[in-house]
Amino acid sequence: MFSSFIYGLSNKYNYQVKSIKIPFANLPAAFKGLKIVHISDIHTGSFTNYKAVNKGIDLILSQNADLILFTGDLVNNKSNEVGEYQKIFSRLKAPMGVYSVLGNHDYGDYVQWKSPVEKAQNLEALKKYMQIWAGVFYLMNTCHCKRITKPLAWLAFKTSAAVAVFTATAA
């Protein structure tokens, strides 16, 4: 476990793209060739190099994704870790949008808070950071539908707690 921690710290800017083609039987034609970039476990509290993080965002943007999905752990523990990196993350854009859910670290469960109110304020501050990112849809017990043409189809995003469900259906 400790060696994994050390490896993670020493390789935190060693970004990699893993391309995976997923075949689906009966996929509506509107979804053929849909490109999704999934990012997770950013843990901004571990960053010390603004330029390196910017290169990571450049790598994400160079994928020309139709849709970007972020599945949590923006911070290690506290919302103020986002700080100076907020401007970099605001560059994330995709034609169909950028969607985000919270991860376990985002809830601040690994910190001794002075009070439950302070912990709740931290979570609310983190949600605001996420919403400030231009075009990011923050999902928590919500549903967001996106209409896709060529031919018409719908992509529905529904969350329950921190589990995201993405459903493609023909119109």
Q: Residues 6 or more apart from 147 whose CB is under 8 A from it?
A: 153, 154
User: Over the stretch 49-61, which tens digit does the pLDDT of each residue have?
Assistant: 889 889 989 999 9
CA distance 169 to 110: 39
Give CA torsion, residues 57, 58, 59, 63, to 10 deg.
100
CA distance 170 to 31: 10
User: Over the stretch 15-69, which tens digit does the pLDDT of each residue have?
Assistant: 888 888 888 788 777 777 888 888 888 888 888 888 988 998 999 999 999 889 8
* Cβ–Cβ < 8 Å for 113, 83: no
CA distance 120 to 113: 10
Backbone φ and ψ for 36, nearest 5 degrees, come out as -115, 130
CA distance 54 to 120: 30
* Cβ–Cβ < 8 Å for 127, 5: no
Instruction: Indicate the domain borders of the chain.
Output: 32-140
**CATH class given for the domain over 32-140:** alpha beta
pTM of the model: 0.78
